[in-house]
Amino acid sequence: MSKKVFIPNNKLSLLKKNNNDLATQDKYKLNTGTGLEYGHVVQDSLVENVIPEVDAEEISLSSFKKEKTLVPEIWKNDKLDSKVRLRLLDIADDFWDTMDVTWVKPEGYILTGSICNFNWSEYSDIDLHIVVDFKKVDKRVEFVEEYFKAKKNAWNNEHDSLEIYGYKVELYVEDIDAETESGGIYDLEGNAWLKKPNPDDIEEIGLEKYEIKSIAADFMTQIDDLIDGAKSTDDKHVLEKISEEAEDLLSTIQETRKKGLEDGEMGVGNIVYKVLRRAGYLDKLWDLIASLYDDVNSLNEEVVADGNADHNPFAERWRHERDTLKNFILNNGILMTSKENGKTYKVYNIPQLSNLIGYNYAICLEFDPYTMEEGSTVYIRALDKFTRRLFQAQFDTRGRDNKGGTADDIR
């Protein structure tokens, strides 16, 4: 999980990046976040603050330097090495055979990405794209795209160790109408550049390195926190929430890369994506999403309807829902005295329920304003059983001494 440190209030403002002022939060404030957070108590002049466990300054960008030449093992005299070219065409044919789309032939085979440019590194992949007219496959282009994506993922996972001179080979199916964002594009069949890379187009990372490191560190911390959260519970409801957050985070990262590519291969978003991939964090996130899917959808034992049972997988969820309801009543309810037992309660009227039933009902929670202690049970009671008058008295438990009501009752 994130590292925790104690910071005095007078130093807190220096660290804030948003408006979430923990120092002013009340213990009983209703949580409206992801559903995974719980209330906290602020004591004295110290506030518990969370700082990212991944230090942005520790992130290295040394692998993103501009090279003087293209990859020497892959390129010979400004052309793709003949042995490499023929092997890639064989791989492309084998890959296309697994697509099971016999009524359409590829429009071409191209190489893209850093392997075709002067910003290559030891982490570069050989991005081999098979160009296809999706409309010839089926008029439902979005369906075709999803189909090819699934088949591509299956191939790449199955052939994870497929490499050429140490560079991993990644296969993709690209629509003929797609715009390829790359500084260099090479036609395998024509054995010629479709877009020749220019070293002058590669800009060295300058002041934007601070932004890149900060964004990458934030993504890394979020991934680590999701992993730690998943390890700390077996509650399926909580795991489902974590799974949704992991999916959303992956979409955010991918969208960040997409926007970065609008500024070229050295765009901030694209570099952030590559930093995460080279550091192994994208693999961590993908593995987490797959693992959470299995955990959430597996049936390992009989689910019982006993909220107190230790083996009930929904027990933690029910406790959280009860605590959320209690916090809501404590924040929004009116302090009133019961006519039946003389105890004080936080009472919240529910007009919708009252209108449906025809009686003035409210939800209530026992609460002592002097000790700030609340009860453990939420009740539904008729509103006329309470009074705003706050006093200590011996009440008839049957409520007979208040049969006629009092002037300050709420009806």
Asked whether the beta carbons of 269 and 181 are under 8 A apart, the reply is no
pLDDT band at 314 (very low <50, low <70, confident <90, very high): low
In our burial notation (b when 16+ CB lie closer than 10 A, e otherwise), range 375-411 reads eeebeeeebbbbbeeeeeeebeeeeeebeeeeeebee
* Res. 278: pLDDT tops 80: yes
For residue 213, CA distances in Å to 59, 114, 143, 269, 410 come to 6, 20, 37, 11, 59
* Res. 22: pLDDT tops 60: no
Structure tokens at 299: 């049936």
The H helix count followed by the E strand count for the chain is 10, 15
Task: Return the pLDDT at 42.
Answer: 30
Alpha carbons 83 and 89: distance in angstroms, whole number: 10
Torsion, Cα of 385, 387, 393, 397 (10° steps): 0
Alpha carbons 30 and 406: distance in angstroms, whole number: 32
Task: Return the pLDDT at 288.
Answer: 94
In the block, residue with structure tokens 């200590």: 392
Task: Return the pLDDT at 391.
Answer: 53
**Residue 141, amino acid:** V
66 DSSP assignment: P
| Report field, pTM of the whole predicted structure over 0.75 | no
Q: According to DSSP H, which parts of 202-314 are helical?
A: 208-231, 236-261, 268-278, 281-297
Positive or negative: CA dihedral 84, 86, 91, 95: positive
* Res. 119: pLDDT tops 70: yes
Give pLDDT tens digits for 218-250.
Answer: 999 999 999 999 999 888 888 999 999 999 999
Beta strands 167-175 and 126-132 are parallel
Give pLDDT tens digits for 151-210.
Answer: 999 999 899 899 999 999 999 999 999 887 788 999 999 999 999 999 888 777 777 888
Asked whether the beta carbons of 226 and 245 are under 8 A apart, the reply is yes
Cα 165 to the center of its chain, rounded Å = 36
pLDDT band at 50 (very low <50, low <70, confident <90, very high): very low
Asked whether the beta carbons of 349 and 360 are under 8 A apart, the reply is yes
Alpha carbons 385 and 394: distance in angstroms, whole number: 15
* Res. 23: pLDDT tops 50: no
The values of phi and psi at residue 380, to 5°, are: -110, 120
* Res. 363: pLDDT tops 70: yes
**Mean pLDDT of all residues in 318-341:** 87
Identify the CA nearest to 123 among candidates 115, 112, 132, 134: 115
Task: Return the pLDDT at 373.
Answer: 86
* Res. 93: pLDDT tops 50: yes
Output 385 or 42, whichever has higher pLDDT: 385
Task: Return the pLDDT at 111.
Answer: 96
The values of phi and psi at residue 248, to 5°, are: -65, -40
Burial of 138 (0-12, 13-18, 19+ CB in 10 A): middle
Asked whether the beta carbons of 186 and 193 are under 8 A apart, the reply is yes
Asked whether the beta carbons of 13 and 38 are under 8 A apart, the reply is no
**Residue 104, amino acid:** V
Beta strands in 20-166 (DSSP E): 46-51, 75-76, 79-80, 108-112, 126-132, 163-164
The values of phi and psi at residue 264, to 5°, are: 100, 175
Task: Return the pLDDT at 310.
Answer: 54
Which of the given ranges, 65-69, 103-107, 257-261, has the highest pLDDT on average? 103-107
* Res. 144: pLDDT tops 80: yes
Output 31 or 237, whichever has higher pLDDT: 237
